[in-house]
Amino acid sequence: MELLFATSNRGKAKEAAEIFKKYGITVKRFQFEHNEIRSESLDEIAAEAVSAAYAECQTPVFVEDSGLFIHALSGFPGPYSAWVQKKLGNEGVLRLMKGVADRSARFEASIAFHDGKSVRTFHGACTGTIADSARGTGGFGYDPIFVPEGQKQTFGERIELKNNLSHRYKAILEFSTALASMR
Amino acid sequence: MELLFATSNRGKAKEAAEIFKKYGITVKRFQFEHNEIRSESLDEIAAEAVSAAYAECQTPVFVEDSGLFIHALSGFPGPYSAWVQKKLGNEGVLRLMKGVADRSARFEASIAFHDGKSVRTFHGACTGTIADSARGTGGFGYDPIFVPEGQKQTFGERIELKNNLSHRYKAILEFSTALASMR
């Protein structure tokens, strides 16, 4: 089975392709530049984006939107995670978190799939904490400052962990399971 | 003359009404909730928003979008200034700027006016610096941490300064001048 993934983020596409492979699904990237809507809901952002993607490619397609929600920062950077990463980097987030006791955070992912008729969304979350400093070079984005629950190392230090317990992995798992039942 | 201002921000509406009054223009607020687009351009954001506002009210209307662009933070919080203010507050911005030598920043405003046929945009900017701490209680948003160029006090400390040299004031000035020539 082949699936079209609309994204302009190569890191995300690569990661998704590796996970989908386990389920016998080949992912093809559909180069898609889109002005996402502003919303606090990843579901809403992904659902709007996949409708725009489908209008372009006219074939079943999915998008994925994800974000890092830091509890002590009222959910910042949340839906603007990619933009904040570009502007402030991990160094900026560490500054905001300096001396903050509550370091809990949550990665969330929403996948929206347009099957040609309607849109369905699938979800994944991964709880953890913000590290005191950036560690490791694996993954991308916030991976070097995120320690998943029950672990000591960041995703950046142990990238092999990520594909087995990340928000993205869980959303893809939910999506693949649904796909299997549709076939 | 009466003008319709589409906004959900009462602080902005109040400030604009006071400035417009000097030009003999009465501003009526049109309560407008809108999911703005994501863009690095205030013009683009305002132009899209005013088209949506016009579609609702079917009468000439303007919107205003503004942001604080901090040089050392690559323009953060920029187009997401309102959202960042809500999440991090001035305290968060001061944390990001702690010990940073280059404190230069720029407030920008774009007004987009829909006259029933087409959209025109007007601009204003106000350069200054980010203060070391929040000072004063005047205005709203980033006013207590912004010191306009050539001044020692923040907008929060001397709010009467703001209506004579702010980005909003300058954009309204440009807009009013254009309106006068249209009449």
- The full DSSP string for A56-108 is HH-S-EEEEEEEEEEGGGTTTEETTHHHHHHHHHHHHHHHHTTT-S--EEEEE
What average pLDDT does the segment A93-110 reach?
98
Give the total number of structural domains in chain B.
1
What kind and span of H or E run contains A151? Answer: none
Question: How many angstroms separate the CA of residue A139 from the nearest CA in chain B?
Answer: 23
Name the token pair of B4. Answer: 């319709």
A35 contact residues in B (CB cutoff 8 A): 37-39
Q: Which CATH number covers residue A168?
A: 3.90.950.10
Name the token pair of B67. Answer: 């942001």
Q: How many CB atoms lie within 10 A of CB B20?
A: 20
Contact A87 B96 (CB under 8 A): no
Q: pTM of this prediction?
A: 0.89
| Residues from A in contact with B at Cβ < 8 Å | 35-39, 73-76, 78, 80, 83-84, 86-88, 92, 95-96, 98
Tokens 């945009």 found at: B121
| Confidence (pLDDT) at A61 | 97
pLDDT bin (cut points 50, 70, 90) of residue B183 is low
| Confidence (pLDDT) at B55 | 96
Give B80's DSSP letter: T
Who has greater pLDDT, A172 or A183? A172
| Confidence (pLDDT) at A158 | 93
Q: What is the pLDDT of residues B10-19, one digit of tens each?
A: 888 988 898 8
| Confidence (pLDDT) at B9 | 86
pLDDT at A182 over 80: no
Q: What is the pLDDT of residues B79-134, one digit of tens each?
A: 999 999 999 999 999 999 999 999 999 999 999 999 999 999 999 999 999 999 99
| Structural domain span for residue B22 | 2-182
B interface mutation test: which of A96, A97, A98, A100 has the most B CBs within 10 A?
Answer: A96
Question: How many angstroms separate the CA of residue A59 from the nearest CA in chain B?
Answer: 25
Name the token pair of A135. Answer: 């560690």
Q: Report how far residue A39's alpha carbon sits from residue B68's, in angstroms, rounded to the nearest whole number.
A: 20
What average pLDDT does the segment A109-126 reach?
96
What average pLDDT does the segment A111-115 reach?
97
Query: Residue B105: exposed, middle, or buried by beta-carbon count in 10 A (0-12, 13-18, 19+)?
Result: buried
pLDDT bin (cut points 50, 70, 90) of residue A10 is confident
Average pLDDT, chain A: 94
Q: What is the pLDDT of residues A83-95, one digit of tens each?
A: 999 999 999 999 9
A39 contact residues in B (CB cutoff 8 A): 35
Closest alpha carbon to A74 in A105, A36, A37, A107: A105
Contact A96 B80 (CB under 8 A): no
Q: List A29's β-bridge partners, or say none.
A: A5
